[in-house]
Amino acid sequence: MFIASILAPFAVFLCFFGLGWVYWGWKASNRVSSALGWALITSSVLAWIPAAGLQYGLVYALFAPALLVWPYVSREASRIPSRAGQQRPREASQWSVAQVIVNAGAAVVVALVLPLMAGVLTVFVSFQLPVAGASQAAIGILLLPFLTALYVFLYLASRRRMQWLLVGAAGTSVLAAVMYL
């Protein structure tokens, strides 16, 4: 208990100053400072786990930077003077049938297709690991959100979304065929 009471503030310290280094590296366009900051944030995980246990330590390590970043965000915030009494006319929304179809298609891909592809990859990876059934399920549960987020990020960041989707679908089909044959 005594060690946990020392390690928890130390983990907060590492996380807070790690975020400070990331902020300073971003402000100064210095990659070394940003890398040092990310290393401090990552090392805070090693302090959170003994302080709170494996389950809660990982949750705190992922949650703490989201809370501690706000002082740095508020430092960059700017105030826009209010224009009381002035009303701007509303702009007419521009609707294009083609754009609505493209956006609806992207929503379907992000909500249905990419999680399905990530699920197939998760099952394939967990079956390849030399562990028992319960451990495979646990690894799959931990791996699925990360792979889904990675797939969605790569899809949305890609300039050639259809090409990326076709390559991903082909790769997922090959993995599914290998897994079930």
Per-residue pLDDT of 16-56, as tens digits, reads 888 888 888 888 888 898 889 889 888 888 888 888 888 78
Mean per-residue pLDDT, 81-102: 78
pLDDT at 112 over 80: yes
pTM over 0.95: no
Distances (CA, A) of 4 to 1, 46, 50, 58, 72: 5, 12, 7, 15, 27
pLDDT band at 1 (very low <50, low <70, confident <90, very high): low
Residues 116 and 122: their CA atoms lie apart, in Å, by 10
Task: Sketch the domain layout of the chain as residue ranges.
Answer: 2-76, 97-180
Specify the 3-state DSSP secondary structure of 89.
coil
Residues 87 and 6: their CA atoms lie apart, in Å, by 55
Q: What was the pLDDT predicted at 160?
A: 92
The pLDDT mean for the chain works out to 85
pLDDT at 75 over 80: no
pLDDT at 84 over 80: no
Work out the number of other CB atoms within 10 angstroms of the CB of residue 56: 13
Specify the 3-state DSSP secondary structure of 78.
coil
pLDDT band at 82 (very low <50, low <70, confident <90, very high): low
**Pair 64, 7: CB distance under 8 Å:** no
Output the furthest CA–CA distance in the chain (Å, rounded).
71
What is the C-alpha R_g of the chain?
A: 23
